[in-house]
Every structure is written in C-alpha cells, then in structure tokens.
Amino acid sequence: MGTKDTITKDYMADNRVFADVFNHMLYKGKNIMDPDTLHPLDTTALAVPYGSGTSEVPVQKFRDEFKSLNVMHDDSRIYLLLGIEN
C-alpha cells in the first residue's frame, strides 16, 4: 500500500463521491442515492475459514470504504450495506 492507495481511500470516503459512484454504476448516472443518507462503518471484518482442516483461526480483512444507507419505502425501512474496493 502506498500513497496512491491512501489518496484514493480519502477520496472515496467523501459521501458525495461515494454516492456518485453507485449512482453511476447502478442507476446510469441518475441522482438516486443521496450522499446525506450515507453513514460510515468500520472497514475491518472478521472471517472464520470454513473447511475440514483443524485451523479455524479468524482472519481479519479490510475494505477500502464501507457505508450503510437506510431509506424509507412504502412505510418499510430498507437497509443497504455498500462497500468499495479500490
């Protein structure tokens, strides 16, 4: 990891940029996702490997950027977890 990775992570941490990426990729550029509704989450995750081996040591993984989004739709709340790997 170097300077380029750090710069990209800082850039993607901006909710406006993050929302713009998802709006472009999912909604063909329409402004559907509101940056003000995004909330940062911890970018670390623990994973326990599956398999027949005796080594079931948890592995820690990191995402570049991870945010939650909750929206109201027809009086029901919908939760989305969105992550980006640069």
What's the domain range around 58? Answer: 3-84
- Check if the beta carbon of residue 50 is closer than 8 Å to that of residue 65: no
Higher pLDDT residue, 75 or 10? 10
**pTM for this one?**
0.65
pLDDT at 2: 62
Per mean pLDDT, which of 4-13, 61-70, 73-82 is the most reliable? 4-13
Q: How many domains does the chain have?
A: 1
Among 75, 86, 60, smallest CA distance to 6 is for 86
pLDDT at 19: 92
Sequence letter at residue 22: F
